[in-house]
């Protein structure tokens, strides 16, 4: 054994600061060397709180603002507090609503980047915005000094990581494209990849695997991407990392590739992270030495004694 390092991966935080902090703490306690944090990063819901003379109302019910803010950090929500007429104006104007989302996302990332530096080390964290994240999030993260890897090929130690955050169209999200276009984008990124040392970080899980089983109505259905399945089959990375389907925490094999979805418990504020080691094994066949990268010690973690907020 001549080379190894440990990676952590979590995804679909959707604004939950509790889940974010807890996952970082687990990565630290597990002595992870590098972290990949995939989208969706931003919150999916905005709570509009009406301020009436210093009393606060949500949907007509009086609320404790401190408690509401704490719950929002746990479950992943943005809060806007203002007068009734201002709230109604924002809700009726798409451009003003988009501006609020950008402002709240920027505030969130300002905190999260500082938290990543305090708990882990910012230069060891790699961010990959995905399905559900506003297009402006890339520049927001860059402005805060983050390592952005979405739609890119990076070299990490002796490994290549190829990341793509686009998802299948669901009609009300950002970064969504048809599966045919997802295949074209993915193939373009992967065309010069070294399969022997490749990690794929594609947000959509491969179709018809243990990673894409979602509850649709009263039944479970496979909702993953045929394009991603085809790309894994074609390029056979040593491991592929996915998200999107929160309830489908699992590991599967696509050919020789290990495919992983750590799932997401963001609404509860709980962590959901997977860690694994990349080993370079050197084998001798007579006078010929052959090296091979392999994945070992995969661990799914959703709770930890050292997990503190």
3-state helix, strand, coil in the chain (%, to 5): 30, 35, 35
Distance CA 261, CA 241 (A): 6
Domain check: are 163 and 23 in the same one? yes
Domain check: are 108 and 58 in the same one? no
Domain check: are 190 and 135 in the same one? yes
What does the pLDDT look like over 127-156, one tens digit per residue? 999 999 999 999 999 999 999 999 999 999
In a domain, 306, yes or no: no
Mean pLDDT of 65-74: 97
First to last CA, the chain: 37
Length of the chain: 309
Question: In terms of Cα–Cα distance, which of 56, 55, 39 is closest to 47?
Answer: 56
Domain check: are 144 and 83 in the same one? no
Domain limits for position 79:
43-91
Q: What pTM did the predictor assign? A: 0.94
- Evaluate if residue 303 carries a pLDDT over 90: no
- Evaluate if residue 309 carries a pLDDT over 80: no
Return the HEC string of 141-183: HHHCCCEECCCEEEEECCEEEEEECCECCCCCCCCECCHHHHH
Percent of the chain exceeding pLDDT 90 equals 87
**CB–CB of 168/225 below 8 Å?**
yes
In a domain, 305, yes or no: no
Domain check: are 52 and 153 in the same one? no
CA pseudo-torsion sign 28, 33, 37, 38: negative
In a domain, 26, yes or no: yes
Peptide bond into 85 cis (omega under 30): no
Distance of CA 134 to the CA centre of its chain: 14
Domain check: are 122 and 192 in the same one? yes
In a domain, 189, yes or no: yes
Q: Which residues of 108-120 are buried (b: 16+ CB within 10 A; e: fewer)?
A: bbeebbeebbebb
Residue 110, SS3 per DSSP: helix
Question: In terms of Cα–Cα distance, which of 162, 134, 139 is closest to 149?
Answer: 162
Question: In terms of Cα–Cα distance, which of 42, 55, 61 is closest to 133?
Answer: 42
In a domain, 309, yes or no: no
Domain check: are 147 and 225 in the same one? yes
Domain check: are 79 and 105 in the same one? no
What does the pLDDT look like over 104-119, one tens digit per residue? 999 999 999 999 999 9
- Evaluate if residue 307 carries a pLDDT over 60: no
**pLDDT band at residue 305 under the 50/70/90 scheme:** very low
The number of C-alpha atoms within 13 Å of 59 and in the hemisphere containing its C-beta is: 3
Average pLDDT in the chain: 93
What does the pLDDT look like over 277-290, one tens digit per residue? 999 988 777 677 77
Mean pLDDT of 159-174: 88
**CB–CB of 11/39 below 8 Å?**
yes
Domain check: are 115 and 161 in the same one? yes
Domain count, the chain: 2
**Regarding predicted confidence, which is higher, 274 or 195?**
274
Domain CATH code at residue 177: 3.60.21.10
What does the pLDDT look like over 2-50, one tens digit per residue? 589 999 999 999 999 999 999 999 999 999 999 999 999 999 999 999 9
């Amino acid at each position: 054994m001549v080379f190894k390092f440990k990676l952590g991966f979590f995804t679909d935080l959707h604004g939950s600061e509790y889940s974010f902090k807890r996952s970082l703490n687990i990565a630290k306690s597990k002595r992870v060397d590098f972290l990949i944090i995939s989208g969706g990063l931003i919150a999916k819901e905005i709570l509009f709180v009406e301020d009436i003379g210093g009393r606060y109302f949500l949907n007509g019910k009086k609320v404790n603002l401190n408690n509401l803010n704490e719950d929002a950090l746990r479950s992943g929500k943005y809060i806007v507090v203002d007068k009734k007429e201002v709230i109604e104006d924002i809700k009726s104007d798409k451009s003003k609503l988009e501006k609020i989302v950008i402002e709240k996302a920027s505030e969130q990332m300002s905190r999260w980047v500082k938290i990543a530096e305090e708990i882990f080390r910012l230069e060891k964290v790699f961010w990959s915005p995905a399905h559900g994240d506003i297009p402006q999030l890339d520049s927001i993260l860059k402005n805060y000094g983050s390592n952005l890897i979405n739609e890119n090929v990076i070299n990490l130690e002796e490994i290549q990581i190829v990341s793509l955050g686009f998802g299948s169209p669901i009609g009300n999200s950002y970064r969504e494209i048809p599966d045919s276009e997802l295949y074209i984008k993915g193939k373009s990124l992967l065309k010069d990849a070294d399969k022997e040392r490749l990690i794929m970080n594609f947000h959509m899980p491969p179709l018809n695997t243990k990673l894409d089983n979602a509850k649709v109505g009263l039944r479970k259905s496979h909702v993953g991407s045929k394009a991603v399945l085809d790309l894994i089959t074609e390029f056979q990375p040593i491991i592929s990392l996915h998200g999107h389907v929160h309830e489908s925490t699992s590991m599967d094999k696509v050919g020789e590739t290990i495919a992983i979805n750590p799932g997401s418990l963001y609404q509860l504020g709980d962590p959901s992270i997977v860690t694994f080691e990349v080993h370079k094994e050197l084998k001798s066949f007579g006078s010929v030495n052959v090296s091979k990268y392999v994945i070992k010690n995969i661990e799914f973690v959703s709770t930890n004694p050292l997990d503190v907020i």
